[in-house]
Chains A and B, each alone.
Chain A
Amino acid sequence: MFIKSLLKEKLINNRNKVRAFFFIIFTSVLFFVFQSLLVPKWNYPDFYDYLTKSMSDFRKLKKNSVEAIFLGSSHVGESISPMQIYIESGVTTYNLGTSAQPTDGSLFLLYEAFKTQSPKYVFLDVNSFFLSPKSGEEGRTYLLDSSSLSKEKIRLAVACGNGGGIKANIFSNPANLISVLFPLYKYHVNWTKLKKTNFAFDISNSEQVYSTFGFDMYSFYAGEPLLWTDLNDIESQMLAAMNSPFFDGKINETYVRKLTNTDEVYNNHITSESMIYLKKIKEVCDKKGAVLVLIKNPVVMFPNLYRFSWTKSKSSEVKKIAFELGVDFLDLQYDYDLGIDYKKDFKDFGQHLNYYGDKKVSSFFASYLKDRCKPSYNQFYAQNIEKYNRQVSVALLQLERDFCEYVNLLKNFPEDICVLMAINDCGIESLTEAEKIALHTIGIESQYFATWPNSFIGIVDNGIVQLDMRSNQSIEFSYNIDDKKIRLMSKGFLQNGGQCSIKINNEEFAICRRGLNIAIYDKKSKTVIDSVCFDFHEKEHEAQRQPHLTHKKLRDYMEYLISENMEI
């Protein structure tokens, strides 16, 4: 009508009309080209984009190839390994757990899932049932970032910023809606981070791309870098808290990083909004012929310190609702003994499981599904087993705390690795015989360590000792692996105050604490897969790591696994 009016006035001639038309078309095309260039390619598990990769991988699955899906918060996303389930049971599952996923977010994902899959079982985490819908904004934002445009996505975008959005409409939150409709609005800043992959066309369709099927693996311990002895002190209190819904909070707060003491923490009533969405989820499952199962993975944390903590009163509340809806509820904390070890199986003070715990939970679901679903061969799952096992090897290395076991893992490590060692300060004098023998098995002449306080640096490259240098003075050594320049340095106790360094291309990889510092360089991926320090001065010869750097190393390795054999 506007154009007609202009033409009627004869103020825009045909030539200009054609030009304007093509200019708009050309601008629109360029807009979408730039948009596709700058919006992250979900195949790469950058920290922020991990969830979007999970969604991308899900869409890549063959139609109707998944027997079960898991929905819920990070308690699901970081605890259940579909690959482990497939290895143990032959049943294909997918983990759609995302950080702080609200119940309406689970409903959104369920709609998304049923577009391409027809799972027989839908496992839903009950974590968010007790939270007010406003608490789920972060989780909704994650989901918006990680999914392609759809009617459900627009509904979620509308809900975002409006506390669950039961009464929200398209005018409620324009900023989110703009980001959803035109992702360039949000991602235009990515021009500073453009990589080769940004220019690739549709790499997401390549079945060569490694997938963990939505599982986000973690490989560090509760409390790190705390010592074992500290954990012993608070373990009993943690376990007491598990059994008391209203634990009075008399705890040793020295080790507590955050305190979220709000009324919401003690809430053991399922919110009305959650009930609405839960009933919708049940309806959708019934309509599609899927069995809805409510689940709760182990969480061992004080209720007054962690809003997602799990208590017996919450458990009985869910049991009532499950009974009303006629669905099963699997409370893996209170009703099943998975042999969870607080000290070993959690990554962050009992909030989330690490790989040790994941394996136990995944095994539970493997046996649960094995009895109910028919195992089948799936090529996509099968071809990922080898890479998954390699990722597990790295995770197990990063989780190992015992020195002798650690050396054993190194000896049998499936990849070509270079072990880089440097002593900081002192501590070697108290090596046990077993530890000396362990060191000796990789070629390091450990008997001389008895002389204190010497400096020491060593390199074992693919099983061959390249350097075994010790002195009562400061020592340094440079070494090349491919295009990487490695520089080791050690100053024993009283040698300028005790220092060490393991640098690769000028980047420090030593923990630089007292004891034997080790960095493991993987030659294939060209990444450092573990940095650890064994303090032999302590009685228990504590292994120390930096948790977040450890996780980054696992992510880097996973990124390598994804890009390996991928033609871009």
Chain B
Amino acid sequence: MAALFIQFWLNFCQHLTFINFTFFCLLALTFALYFLVPIKARKFVLLVASIGFYATWGIAQFVFVTVAAVTAWGGALAVSAVQTRQAKRALLWLSIAILIIMLVYVKIGKIFLDAKSLIIPLGISYYTFSVVGYLADVYRGKEKAERNILHFLLYMLYFPHILQGPIPRHERLAPQLIEGHAFDYKMFCFGIQRTVWGLFKKLVIADRFSVITSTVFGSDFMDYSGQVYVFALLCSVFVMYCDFSGCMDIALGVSESFGIKLDENFRRPFYSRTAGEFWRRWHITLGTWFKDYIFMPFMTPAFVRFCGKARKLFGARVSNGMMMVIPLAVVWLLTGLWHGTGVHFIVWGAYWWLLISIENVFAPEFKKLTKKLGINSSSPWFQRFQIFRTIIFFLGSQLIIGLGDIHKTLYVLKNMFTKFNPWIWFDKTLYSLGLDAPNLWTGIVAILILWKMSSLQEHGVHIREKIAEFPLPVRWAVYLGGIFSVLIFGWYGPGFDASNFIYMQF
């Protein structure tokens, strides 16, 4: 029996993600158990499910994350137990240092060590940031330290967020996990709907278009030129957005079905009018984490005094600029390093830092310029221009980070502007990049659906509530349309290389 269980585990439950058939079988079992046991015991169902989910990635990985959990849990208890500020601070930094060393070991190890010998725990970047934030909050007295190690382990390993976020805040998530939830029909259904929507984004759009990006930007990238790169770059935008936000929709949807609300991680980023706004809408929990735990703590009295001195020398404009640009540089350097250790990640961080800094520092000049040109900055056309500009910014960032090599980026960038081949948009070249005509057009229709949904949400429409108001036949048609579009048009099954979520690597 034990041998059978081990075989089942090894063959049936390897490397679970949100797109495994097995995951959905086990999810159904978890739902059933969760709502079957008494409310007080429901947290244990989630804990067992989360440990089981994590263990599918390897026992060594599970041991690694448990060490991190014990470190953070013990560190927080110790910080809250000692009385003197110095001792608190020392314990805080000790705990954080251990956690960061573990993170750096994985990040640096990826470069220097053999992949087989390296333990790469699932979601290390996410849970490390999450528990570092928790430690800081305990240190600041914003939160009480969690006394129950199992509760803490559940908060850290809760399976919907462990894969690639959102980065949870202990104060908001832990109480929801521990208290247990009664079955809520509406929340359960809404959760399922959001999960299906996430699968639509991932399997119908992201994985479909990733065929084109991997063909064009793969090892034979020199076989392509000019506008083909532009097309592939556009595809990479959909791949990146739908992959990440699709995963978030699944995570939030699954969690919602349990009655647990996770923090939103996306808010239609391609409606942003500035680079800064983009990052307040894209990977929101990472942005707020950096704001709360890096940017704000940077504003120490010493730094404010330093900027004050600059005010005397260079004036208020420069001083204010420094107060924003210097912490922002640190934030973007760390954001780049959080994504990876290659040079292109640092360049990518510098790129966004530069854009956001210019936007903020020269805001008065931009305002004057628009006024001088007679542009009404609140007109819809100007707003559309700003949105378009932000998308161009994102394309630029994709060019840096999406190709995985700065030399490749420079080659593609040069080629895009030197090779003139606009006919590729009309001569069926696009059908030769890995997707045939029906599949390419299916992807385009799916993007139009996504755009329409986003547009409605941007205008304040709550899609799921709105659909729930429809007559039953229409409502069901929408639900079934969603389910079967994933089942039929999804990029999965034998012969498909349904790729893992992109942000899982971070």
Contacts and interface: CB of A to CB of B under 8 A. Distances in A.
A175 interface: yes
Contacts of A27: 480, 483
Contacts of A189: 493, 495-496
B11 A6 contact: no
A92 B38 CA distance: 66
Contact of B4 (A9, A11, A169): A169
A143 to B, nearest CB: 15
Contact of A188 (B22, B35, B487): B487
A184 interface: yes
A412 interface: no
Contacts of A26: 476, 480
B449 to A, nearest CB: 17
Q: Which of B439, B479, B490, B494 has the most CB of A within 10 A?
A: B494
A172 B7 contact: yes
A178 B21 contact: yes
B28 to A, nearest CB: 10
A5 B489 contact: no
B468 to A, nearest CB: 12
Interface in B447-489: 472, 476, 479-480, 483-484, 487-489
Contacts of A185: 21, 492-494
Contacts of B493: 179, 185-186, 188-189
A5 B21 CA distance: 26
B439 A192 contact: yes
Contact of B12 (A11, A16, A38, A171): A171
A348 to B, nearest CB: 26
Interface stretch (B74-82, B182-190, B230-238, B334-342): B182-190
B29 to A, nearest CB: 10
Nearest to A11: B183
A30 B488 contact: no
B45 to A, nearest CB: 13
B8 interface: yes
Nearest to B490: A188
Contacts of B439: 192
B35 A171 contact: no
Nearest to A190: B488
A165 B54 CA distance: 30
A26 B36 CA distance: 26
B179 interface: no
A189 B490 CA distance: 8
B32 interface: yes
Given A185-B21, A191-B488, A192-B436, A175 B184 contact: no
A249 interface: no
B183 to A, nearest CB: 5
B438 interface: yes
Contacts of B183: 6, 9, 11-12
A19 B183 CA distance: 16
B488 A34 contact: yes
Nearest to A192: B438
A31 B11 contact: no
A48 to B, nearest CB: 12
B185 A11 contact: yes
A6 B183 CA distance: 7
Q: Which of B490, B493, B496 has the most CB of A within 10 A?
A: B493
A23 interface: yes
B180 to A, nearest CB: 12
Contacts of A16: 185
A256 interface: no
Nearest to B472: A19
A178 B8 CA distance: 14
Interface string A38-49: 100000000000
B11 A172 contact: yes
Contacts of B22: 174
A173 interface: yes
Contacts of B494: 175, 179, 185-186
Given A6-B35, A11-B185, A191 B489 contact: yes
Nearest to A185: B493
Interface in B106-144: none
B9 to A, nearest CB: 9
B30 to A, nearest CB: 12
A171 B484 contact: no
Interface residues of B, number: 32
A9 B21 contact: no
Interface string A393-414: 0000000000000000000000
A5 B36 contact: yes
A434 interface: no
Nearest to B21: A178
Contact of A2 (B12, B32, B476): B32
Nearest to A171: B8
B490 A9 contact: no
A406 B12 CA distance: 59
A184 to B, nearest CB: 6
Contacts of B487: 31, 34, 184, 188
A12 B185 contact: yes
Interface string B1-24: 000100110011000000001100
A184 B487 CA distance: 8
B14 to A, nearest CB: 10
Nearest to A4: B36
Contacts of A2: 32, 35-36
Contacts of A186: 493-495
B185 A169 contact: no
A186 B479 CA distance: 23
Nearest to A38: B488
A175 B492 CA distance: 12
A172 B3 CA distance: 12
Interface in A527-564: none
A218 to B, nearest CB: 27
Given A11-B184, A169-B7, A171-B4, A5 B35 contact: yes
Interface in A149-206: 169, 171-175, 178-179, 184-186, 188-189, 191-192
Contacts of A169: 4, 7
A171 B1 CA distance: 12
B338 to A, nearest CB: 35
A235 B362 CA distance: 85
A144 to B, nearest CB: 11
Contacts of A6: 35, 183
Nearest to B436: A192
A34 B483 CA distance: 12
B438 A9 contact: no
B495 to A, nearest CB: 8
A404 B472 CA distance: 74
A188 B492 CA distance: 9
Contact of A9 (B8, B182, B492): B182
A186 B493 CA distance: 5
Contacts of B436: 192
Interface in A1-27: 1-2, 5-6, 9, 11-13, 16, 19, 23, 26-27
A1 B36 contact: yes
B21 A23 contact: no
A9 B488 CA distance: 37
A19 B185 CA distance: 12
Contacts of A23: 476, 479
A284 to B, nearest CB: 28
22 contacts: A2-B32, A2-B36, A9-B182, A11-B182, A11-B185, A12-B183, A12-B185, A23-B476, A30-B480, A31-B484, A34-B484, A34-B487, A171-B11, A173-B11, A174-B11, A175-B494, A179-B494, A184-B487, A189-B493, A189-B496, A191-B438, A192-B438
Given A5-B36, A6-B35, A169-B4, 13 more contacts: A5-B35, A9-B182, A12-B185, A27-B480, A31-B487, A172-B11, A174-B21, A174-B22, A179-B494, A184-B488, A188-B489, A189-B493, A192-B438
Interface of A: 1-2, 5-6, 9, 11-13, 16, 19, 23, 26-27, 30-31, 34, 38, 169, 171-175, 178-179, 184-186, 188-189, 191-192
